[in-house]
Amino acid sequence: MKRLSLSIIVLSFSSLLSLPKLLSLSNLNAFRDFFFLFFLSFFLSLFFVRFFFSFFLVYPIVQRIQILCSKLTLKILPKELNTNKEVYHQIVADGCLKAGEVLQLAAGNDIRAVPTSENTTPWPIPFDMIVSSIPRLQPRYFSISSSPKLTPNAIHVTCVVLKYSSVANERVEGRAVYGVGSNFLLNLKCASNGEDMPLITNGGAAGAVVPTYAIEGPRGAYRKENVYKVPVHVRRSTFRLPTNPKSPVIMGVAPFRGFVQERVALARRTVEKNGPEALADWGRIVLFYGCRKSTEDYLYKDEWPQYTSELSGKFEMHTSFSREPPYKPDGGKIYVQDLMWEQREVVADCILNGKGYVYICGDAKSMSRAVEDVLARILGEAKGGSGEVEGVQEVKMLKERSRLLLDVWS
């Protein structure tokens, strides 16, 4: 705290540099201006500290807490937390502890108790050490799921709101944990539409609500009536539809809703100009979509029939709901790769004969790899070989020719 106070004083006294000039004016207004500058710089210093903690720090941070503790001479982490990765992961990472809670553990405090001045050990951590040890919030990237040709004045984002429960252990109770970026968007959506924030539905304290954010910005700068501004930027994407609408397309759902909208907008102009027959030689758009339940996470389900109608049968959609029947004969769940195998003749024809394009978007750890594996099997067997040899070669060639594009995350 001493270093923090010193930094504020130094910044405030920078206004003293103008004192000789002010005194030489022999003007009461000059003294007024001097004191105004002095107090302005002081309050700006306080605002900087608050702004830093509000916008640039990740509070539930555990990665760099060991660095903090190693720099302090008074306290260190308990031996089992400092040397045993499994114990550290079980208590700190699985428990989703915040930086202050890890420091409480290091001091031997019971973090399950409500913190008070009597049961919490103070830590004399200099402010500059906090700044250097805790990283800034990183930007969140989301796929745009709309087409500028269909909605030129709006950008749609398909986002799963992250809410889950931490793992309880002998030192840490379970708690609800929320994704920073996705819950910010949820706050924004509810505020813009005049909706109440939803209650927790999958764990956590009963009746608790999701975190709230200062979405109005400083002094309401980000809000005008029910319209909110958000600091965003659009990153150029390599994901683009083939320019020729005659090329077949095989894909998933997001950001491919935007792809379908793009084709719908083009189809409307084409039909208006040349009639419905103009779509006869267009390539097929085959969309494979998987989710858990048709009643919970079947995104945009009311839109797809309309797109099918407007594209005159050139758009077809195959869905799998892993938590709903029908299941596999052995009782296993059906995923998108299983749908692709069921439609293997369509997939092979679109790629090998129609020179089509394949787009994969989603989880890189399991879904993306499984889709590539079944795609190699389909293409390998269609060419009279195997997925391990001919299929792998075909998938490699598709990637080299930018006919197989991935937008995946881990």
Which positions are catalytic? 143, 361, 407, 409
CA dihedral 169, 96, 51, 103 (to 10 degrees): 50
Q: Calculate the CA 389 to chain-centre distance.
A: 36
Q: Shortest CA distance to 318 belongs to which of 336, 291, 293?
A: 336
Q: Phi and psi at residue 285, in whole multiples of 5°? A: -115, 115
Give SS3 for 358.
strand
Q: List Cβ neighbours of 103 (8 Å cut-off, separation of 6 or more).
A: 65, 68, 69, 75, 121, 123
Give the end-to-end CA distance of the chain in Å, rounded to a whole number: 40
Residue 228's Cβ-side half-sphere holds a number of Cα atoms within 13 Å equal to 20
Position 319, amino acid: T
What count of other Cβ atoms lies within 10 Å of the Cβ of residue 271? 16
Position 38, amino acid: F
Q: CA–CA separation, 43 vs 46, rounded Å?
A: 5
User: Looking at the DSSP assignment, which residues form a beta bridge with residue 285?
Assistant: 249, 315
Joined tokens for residue 147: 């087409």
Q: Tokens 């949820």 — which residue?
A: 186
Q: CA–CA separation, 188 vs 228, rounded Å?
A: 8
Q: CA–CA separation, 84 vs 69, rounded Å?
A: 16
Residue 44 contacts residue 14 (beta carbons within 8 Å): no
Joined tokens for residue 54: 């509000």
Q: CA–CA separation, 377 vs 389, rounded Å?
A: 9
Q: Calculate the CA 138 to chain-centre distance.
A: 10
